[in-house]
Amino acid sequence: MESVLASNDPEKTENSMDKKYANALKGKIDADSMKKLDALKNGMLHAFVAEAVELCQPDSIKVFDDSDADADYVRKKAVELGEEKPLAIQGHTYHFDGMADQGRDKEVTRYLVPPGDSLDKTLNQIGRDEGLAEVRSLLAGSMEGRQMIVRLFCLGPTNSPFGIPCAQITDSFYVSHSEDLLYRRGYEEFRRIGDSDRFFRFLHSAGRMENMVSAEPEKKRIYIDYSREQIYSVNTQYAGNTVGLKKLALRLAIRKADREGWLAEHMFAMGSKGPGGRITYFCGAFPSACGKTSTAMIPGETIIGDDLAYFRIIDGQLRAVNVEEGIFGIIQDVKAKDDPVIWDVLTRPGEVIFSNVLIKDGRPYWLGMGQDLPKDGVNYSGPWTAGKKDSSGAEILAAHKNARYTISLRAIANMDSQLDNPKGVPVGGIIYGGRDSDTSVPVQQAFDWTHGIAAYGASLESETTAATIGKEGVRTFNLMSNLDFLAIPVGRYILNNLNFVKPLSTPPLVFAVNYFLRGKDGKFLNGMRDKAVWIKWMELRVNGQADAIKAPTGQIPKYEDIRRLFKQVLDKDYSRDDYVTQFTIRVPENLAKLDRIEKIYRSEITDTPPVVLEILAAQRKRLDDLKTAKGDYVSPLSL
């Protein structure tokens, strides 16, 4: 989208939009919208809107500011057009994506690489000129008969060193409504930045639709023009592909952070309450459906955010903000007993969007909700009855495994008071976790920052789930839970993390957790609520109030500390046998993991920092030594 930007127009006046941009909008934009757009003296923004109009050919254009009235218009329009439908509880709506549009689609999400530039070969990419031509051809005329929505938001708090202004153009009121719940409004932020060109841009169209669902998923494209900080998305509605400020913006932010010396991470942020009323803040990276949101929302603790965090060094501290102010969360297995905080929001009046769940008599149902599901209803496949099959003969479940809810954090009872602090919160600990059925203990602490980044973050594996399109249950490498979103070389990204804390005298501690360890019978060894205990142990470790045992892979809790915490936190007796079963060091499995990780860093990643291989080699030696001394499976009581 460079046709207008490439030209120079001498007719620009000091107090109004360039005539070439105004002419592009003429006859399509109402007076109020024109006034709002013209009030923002930002030539790049004006050009972005004009070019989108020129390409997508909407019937009309509406520009929104930060007012509640404008947000209400979006909500009502989403229902009026049928992109969302109301439920029995006031404020609740539901939305369906298409059968082939139920998760982030990595195969058609590509970086546009300019001539002369190169990205890591592990990243999905296409030449910029070729990719632009393709996606522009799909977007051409895509908004005919529809209204173009121009929204302005901010990633991170407004008027903050963390904040990044963003402009989203879409023809989907569902997408726009989702963004209202997920992000801070940014119209006034654009007024504050004036004519700066330092903002992210997102252009989305649902494409041709049938029954308000994108009808051509085979033409779905999500292209990242990182050299211009712009995203293109077409023929899709699923929020992970269309809500530009989410994982699409993360790719741009990682590159921006690399240039400017900060970090953009796929991490939650939460506060754990310790003795004496203190709050210790943790950030954690977990792949989707691995306990990330439920950790961020542990009852009795406070939540800053469940998905994305920016990090900066401010006043001698590593500080973090939640990029968002809402949650687009996986709803499968959310139940009253295990997730009382989110259950409360999902079952009382207030603004909630459910997506790809089962609807029966005005109520939403989802997998693992702790209740019997109806045998019929309506879901993303249309009218549904138990046993229904898709075109390939596979059974269609009552709700999709990646069904979601979208809410504002401000609806949650334990939202942390520092959510909008422009300086963020001080981070005491970093946590890495994934789905691991047979290798890692439930919780452990790295020996130091470098060990934690190399052996936990850069060695993160997880068994795949329904949050991404593809086969489930496959163990995949996903360093820092950020591999899918990198737009810089992997080695440089790791070095950025390793070097980030060098200015700090006391960097945060680094931990690893595993909620999915199974016993020989295949059953989980952790309870759903046990994570509340692991967090409390980590909080004590950060503050020097709990001991640990040195194991080959890190420092693990002592039985006495964990037993006491189980009683304090969950009123649960924790046996010595449970402790031994959960914290036994599984030497063969840990060595096999090292084999897999070292192979990746030696053969697939060309710029692996040497220190990563050194840390992994030292860990291998500790495991080999333990095996020689005490065997393959070593009780924590023997360490």
Distant-in-sequence, close-in-space partners of 381: CB < 8 Å, separation ≥ 6: 99, 388, 390, 396
Query: Which residues of 44-127 form beta strands (DSSP E)?
Result: 60-63, 85-86, 92-95, 109-113, 125-127
The two domains 19-260 and 263-325+419-638 share their CATH topology (first three levels equal): no
Structure tokens at 405: 């809810």
Query: Are the C-beta atoms of residues 605 and 491 closer than 8 Å to each other?
Result: yes
Distant-in-sequence, close-in-space partners of 371: CB < 8 Å, separation ≥ 6: 365
The pLDDT value given to residue 118:
84
The pLDDT value given to residue 465:
56
**Which CATH number does the domain 19-260 belong to among 3.40.449.10, 3.40.50.2300, 3.40.50.150, 3.30.70.1560?**
3.40.449.10
The pLDDT value given to residue 120:
77
Distant-in-sequence, close-in-space partners of 117: CB < 8 Å, separation ≥ 6: 227
Query: Are the C-beta atoms of residues 179 and 169 closer than 8 Å to each other?
Result: no
Distance CA(300)–CA(446), nearest Å, equals: 26
Long-range pairs of 489-494 with CB within 8 A, sequence gap ≥ 24 = 489/119, 489/120, 489/607, 490/120, 490/122, 490/605, 490/607, 490/608, 491/605, 491/606, 491/607, 491/608, 491/609, 492/258, 492/607, 493/254, 493/258, 494/453, 494/454, 494/458, 494/608, 494/609, 494/612
Q: Domain 263-325+419-638: state its class.
A: alpha beta
3-class DSSP state of 47: helix
The pLDDT value given to residue 121:
77
Handedness of CA 26, 29, 31, 32 (dihedral sign): negative
DSSP string, 365-378: E-TTSSSPPPSEEE
Where in the sequence numbering do the catalytic residues fall? Answer: 290
What's the whole-model pTM score?
0.93
The pLDDT value given to residue 611:
98
Distant-in-sequence, close-in-space partners of 509: CB < 8 Å, separation ≥ 6: 428, 429, 430, 445, 446, 452, 538, 541, 542
Q: How many CA atoms lie within 13 A of 513 on its CB side?
A: 26
Distance CA(534)–CA(598), nearest Å, equals: 28
Handedness of CA 300, 303, 307, 311 (dihedral sign): negative
Distant-in-sequence, close-in-space partners of 578: CB < 8 Å, separation ≥ 6: 525
CB atoms within 10 A of CB 281: 24
Distance CA(552)–CA(618), nearest Å, equals: 9
Q: Does the domain formed by 329-411 have CATH 3.40.50.1360?
A: no
CB atoms within 10 A of CB 582: 21
> Phi and psi for 91 in degrees, rounded to 5?
90, -15
Distance CA(284)–CA(273), nearest Å, equals: 17
Parallel/antiparallel/unpaired status of strands 554-557 and 548-551? antiparallel
The pLDDT value given to residue 473:
66
Average pLDDT by stretches of 10, the chain with 639 residues: 42 63 92 95 96 97 98 98 98 96 91 90 90 98 98 98 98 98 98 95 96 94 96 96 94 96 98 96 91 90 96 97 96 91 96 98 97 97 96 95 96 96 98 94 98 98 65 81 90 97 96 95 91 98 98 98 97 97 98 97 93 98 98 97
Sequence spans of domains, the chain? 19-260, 263-325+419-638, 329-411
Query: Are the C-beta atoms of residues 353 and 93 closer than 8 Å to each other?
Result: yes
Residue located via tokens 């309870």 = 527
> Phi and psi for 68 in degrees, rounded to 5?
-65, -35
**Residue 381 CA from chain centroid, whole number:** 26
